Amino acid sequence: MALRAVFAPGWLRYVLGVLGPGLVTGAADDDPSGIATCSQTGAQFGYGQLWAALWILPPVTAVQEACGRIGNVTGEGLARNIKSRHGLWVLRLLVVLLCVANVINIGADIGALGAAAGLIIPVSPAVLMVCFTVLILMLEIMVTYRRYAKVLKFLALSLLAYPITAFLVSEPWLTILQATFVPRIQFSVAFFYVITAVIGTTISPYMFFWQTSQEVEENKTRPVKRSLRDLRTDNTVGMFFSQVTTWFIIIVAATVLHTAHITTINSAADAARALRPLVRTFPHSGQFAQGLFAFGVVSLGLLAIPVLAGSTSFALSEARGKPEGLELTARQGRYFYGVLAASMLLGLGLNFVGVNPIHALVFAAVFNGVASVPLIWMIDRIAADRQIMGTARSGWLSRVVLALTFVGVSGSVVAMLVSYLRD
């Protein structure tokens, strides 16, 4: 009976009906930065960091659930909640960290779009970067994000190329399962740098602000506030598929690249080689693999960059008491869209200082890991506050997982710094 209930059409309709901010946030989590970082860890360490995909799932689910719950219950974004509980100076410090992290991440993602698209379009990556920036800005200002995201969620299906590839090549599944459940630690700068990047690309500050604000936006269009059950279902599904995708990207990179002694990814073309087994039977398989990889990076970049820029705009607009929201017209949201445009243009500018886009993506993930530490502590305090959250405050399980998340992320950052100083 239980199994029949789980797989009943009514249950499936319910899940599909509640998918929203959690799914979009999870899809945006596998942005070009995520693909580059997971490809790098697979290429460099083989299956050595595969356990991270499983062990990070409970922390990222707990943090994003707390963020969504804060937005749902208070009707305000994360910035306003931080300001109310901890004061303006704390908010300013955290917003500065967020803005720096987001601009670096936006710049790295825009660079990845140009590099990936350049694999299949005979145009200079610099020109492509400018074109993508203008296109995203126009779409985000002129089209409501709700409509925009509906299309891009389908483009994110390109990530299925990684699990398909994993089943086309001969995999040591016993070794993979062992590496998934049993953490293996190497005490080196490279190991802690990359594992901090894996954590940072998964548990990212922009996701905290984005999902909190999107729960507020979601309720604005509903006659009745979204239930916590719906929110948690949406969030769990989004984070689960995000981490399953991460797991498969690491596996494919480890099997295809690491075993071929390709341990450093310096370009989009290097990362595209991981998909060649998928198209081995096609003529010109290298070009086809590059095209498939480019399609995935571009579609996910088009989904993630508006999330990054939007989270910056939400945070600064809330901190300044300005109108915010992607449903605003250009006239209504002059400040909101001004911040959004400025963050994207600054990110674009970072690409013209000679930085390797793949290296920039991994660095952006590391910076996100560092910046997320104080925010996780703040989120835990706000979500557990009876005065703010009432009966929807965090229970013991949420508090324990968030505390362990804070310790784990802090520990990875400290270990990276100690390893660097001792090297």
SS (H, E, C) 180-213: HHCCCCCCCHHHHHHHHHHHHHHCCHHHHHHHHH
Residue 255 has pLDDT above 80, yes or no: yes
pLDDT tens-digit profile of 329-360? 777 888 988 998 999 999 898 888 876 666 77
Alpha carbons 2 and 354: distance in angstroms, whole number: 58
Question: In the structure encoding, which two tokens stand for residue 204, read together?
Answer: 């990212």
pLDDT exceeding 70 applies to what percent of the chain? 86
The pLDDT, as a whole number, for residue 400 is 95
Cβ(66)–Cβ(198) below 8 Å: no
Place of tokens 């996910």: 300
pLDDT-derived band at 281, boundaries 50, 70, 90: very low
Alpha carbons 287 and 72: distance in angstroms, whole number: 46
Alpha carbons 140 and 340: distance in angstroms, whole number: 9
pLDDT tens-digit profile of 206-236? 889 888 988 887 777 777 788 888 889 999 9
> 282 or 249: whose pLDDT is higher?
249
Cβ(264)–Cβ(80) below 8 Å: no
- What mean pLDDT do residues 267-276 have? 65
Question: In the structure encoding, which two tokens stand for residue 272, read together?
Answer: 């595209």
pLDDT-derived band at 276, boundaries 50, 70, 90: low
The pLDDT, as a whole number, for residue 3 is 45
Cα dihedral sign for 322, 24, 403, 34? negative
The pLDDT, as a whole number, for residue 418 is 80
The pLDDT, as a whole number, for residue 4 is 46
The pLDDT, as a whole number, for residue 280 is 53
Q: Domain limits of the chain?
A: 20-422
- What mean pLDDT do residues 253-281 have? 72
Alpha carbons 152 and 265: distance in angstroms, whole number: 27
Residue 272 has pLDDT above 80, yes or no: no
Residue 194 has pLDDT above 80, yes or no: yes
pLDDT-derived band at 5, boundaries 50, 70, 90: very low
pLDDT tens-digit profile of 295-310? 777 877 887 888 888 8
pLDDT tens-digit profile of 165-176? 778 778 889 999
Question: In the structure encoding, which two tokens stand for residue 422, read together?
Answer: 């001792």
Centre a 10 Å sphere on the Cβ of residue 198 and count the other Cβ atoms it contains: 25
Residue 148 has pLDDT above 90, yes or no: no
The pLDDT, as a whole number, for residue 356 is 67
Residue 8 has pLDDT above 70, yes or no: no
pLDDT-derived band at 186, boundaries 50, 70, 90: confident
Region class of 152: left (phi > 0), else alpha (psi between -120 and 50), else beta: alpha
Q: Which of 112-116, 152-156, 380-384 has the lowest mean pLDDT?
A: 152-156
Query: Which top CATH class is 20-422?
Result: mainly alpha
Average pLDDT, the chain: 82
Residue 84 has pLDDT above 90, yes or no: no
Residue type, 188: S
Alpha carbons 5 and 15: distance in angstroms, whole number: 13
Residue 2 has pLDDT above 60, yes or no: no
Angle of CA points 263, 265, 266, to nearest 5°: 135
- What mean pLDDT do residues 106-122 have? 82
The pTM of this model reads 0.82
3-class secondary-structure state, position 227: coil
Question: In the structure encoding, which two tokens stand for residue 309, read together?
Answer: 């820029």
pLDDT tens-digit profile of 30-69? 777 778 888 889 989 999 999 999 999 999 999 999 999 9
> 274 or 409: whose pLDDT is higher?
409
Cβ(156)–Cβ(299) below 8 Å: yes
